[in-house]
Copies of this chain bind each other. A is one copy, B any other.
Amino acid sequence: MPIDPNGPVPLYQQIADYIRQLVAAGVFRSAEALPSLRALAVQLAVNPNTVQRAYDQLEREGLVYARRGLGLFVAERGAELARNKSQEALYQTFMQAILAGKAAQLSGEKIGAIFQRALAGADVKARNQ
Contact = CB atoms under 8 A, between A and B. Distances in A.
A95 B122 contact: yes
A3 interface: no
A101 B90 contact: yes
Contacts of A119: 94, 98, 108, 111-112
A24 interface: yes
Contacts of A70: none
Given A91-B117, A111-B90, A83 B104 contact: yes
Contacts of A89: 100
Contacts of A125: 95, 99
A18 B101 CA distance: 12
